[in-house]
Amino acid sequence: MIEIRSIIERAGHSKEDLITLLRSEGDDKDILFKKTGEIRDKHAGKKVWLRGLIEFSNICSKDCLYCGIRKSNKNISRYNLTDEEILKAAAFAYEKGFGSIALQSGELESKTFTNRIESLIKKIKKLSAGNLGITLSVGEQEKEVYQKWFDAGAHRYLLRMEATNPALYSKIHPGDTWHNFSRRLKCLESLKNIGYQTGTGVMIGLPFQTCDDLAGDLLFMKDFDIDMCGMGPYIEHADTPFIKYSSGIPSLAERLDLSLKMIAVLRLIMKDINIVASTALQSIDPEGREKAVRIGANIIMPNITPGKYRDSYRLYENKPCSGDSADDCLASFEENIKAEGYEIIYGEWGDSKHFFKRSKG
Ligand code: 5AD
């Protein structure tokens, strides 16, 4: 048997190496996690940066087979925050000292939507005297739209590939032209070319997904040279077609474990990118985000959506912080990680170091 240490230390990991690391258990897994925690602390410091997450609408034109806010789900009430509510949430983030916010919603492509986001970006910049960083996560759009928003002041964009193996992508989405792997990829390329700090991610523990797929996802992120990653466990939602596969997928505990290993291995192969400790981790384990921070993650996204809408942005079952106020949601996390010597950084954008190195060439 090959010693895990020699695989970890190797330069240029093969897919087989990554699979071995993703399958590590017991002492081997401990060695991996210890190493990636050290890498994380060396490159990011013992620091965690914040993105106040505003889930401003659950209206979606897509019908992804796994997602609770899919167009065909008639079992949720749809909402769309007013501009005032969004700006109020942004002002709250600014007053709390959050360096950045993330605007996220269901996917819509229209002139009205484009103009609305553009105007919101400008207003958020204005209310924070240019100080709040803005991440967008509003799906696939035309290049011109991405450019317009970039020019208005957004500087990061998170567009998850969900699955980077085209065959798996087509199994988890309807087979129509609106759910197209090549377009998703093209969008990610446009974002990078425009000059956004570009983030992607995948779901972990999906029906039909193999360890080979997950290793491929990691290699994709490395090859694409992403700046940021947000990935987390797939979690069932009763009102989606994928609920029928619930018995055939890894247990929640296994999905959590695999997600942590994905974060660790990504940190091993991409030392200076931003990696989010996702909310979905927290929904499996109340301390899921803390666990992710210890082994590689350096960003958290506390939900600052006004409380009354939280329940309706239900991408998956048991989504945490539904009733909590934004403060509660962050407070326990902050207390826990402080006790371990980490510090939450206020008043800084917390940009991806990788982005600056990449742009300098
Ligand atoms: N489980 C976990 N994550 C999900 N998402 C959507 N549905 C689910 C689910 N059932 C994630 C997708 C999307 C992000 C907003 O939420 O990765 O990009």
Can you read off the two tokens belonging to residue 71? 């167009």
Collect all residues with Cβ–Cβ distance below 8 Å to 279 and sequence separation of at least 6.
Answer: 53, 232, 289, 301, 303, 319, 320, 321
* Beta bridge mates, 50: 300
CA dihedral 340, 283, 87, 328 (to 10 degrees): -50
Q: How far is the CA of 306 from the centre of ligand 1 (A)?
A: 20
Q: Which pLDDT belongs to residue 359?
A: 87
Tell me the average pLDDT across 265-293: 96
- Each residue's pLDDT tens digit, 91-116: 999 999 999 999 999 999 999 999 99
| Ligand 1 close to Cβ of residue 53 (< 6 A) | no
pLDDT confidence band for 2 (50 / 70 / 90): confident
Task: Write out pLDDT tens, residues 226-270.
Answer: 999 999 999 999 999 999 999 999 999 999 999 999 999 999 999
Burial (CB < 10 A; 0-12, 13-18, 19+), residue 176, is: exposed
User: Which residue's alpha carbon is at the smallest distance from atom 7 of ligand 1?
Assistant: 67
User: Pseudo-torsion of CA 334, 339, 345, 351, nearest 10°?
Assistant: -100
Q: What is the mean pLDDT of the chain?
A: 95
Report, as an integer, the average pLDDT of 186-194. 98
User: For residue 64, how far is its CA from the centre of ligand 1 (angstroms)?
Assistant: 9
- Dump the DSSP string for 305-331: S-HHHHTT--SSTT-TTSSS-HHHHHH
CB 295 within 8 A of CB 303: no
Query: pLDDT tens, 41-53?
Result: 999 999 999 999 9
The rounded Å distance from CA 91 to ligand 1 centre is: 27
- Residues of the chain with pLDDT > 90: what percent? 90
Task: Determine whether 111 is exposed, middle or buried from the number of CB atoms within 10 Å of its CB (0-12, 13-18, 19+).
Answer: exposed
Does 222 score more than 90 pLDDT? yes
Contacts of 168 (CB under 8 A, 6+ apart): 206, 208, 209, 213
Strand partners, 300: 50
Question: Residue 286: pLDDT band by 50, 70, 90 thresholds?
Answer: very high
Q: In this model, does residue 327 exceed pLDDT 60?
A: no
Whether the CB of 260 sits within 6 Å of ligand 1 = no
Shortest-distance atom of ligand 1 to CA 137? 15
CB atoms within 10 A of CB 65: 19
326: pLDDT confidence band, cut at 50, 70 and 90? low
The verdict on the CB of residue 196 being under 6 Å from ligand 1 is: no
Residue 321 pLDDT greater than 90, yes or no: no
User: How far does the centroid of ligand 1 lie from the alpha carbon of residue 67, in Å?
Assistant: 6
CA–CA separation, 56 vs 121, rounded Å? 13
Q: How far apart are CA 22 and CA 265, in angstroms?
A: 7
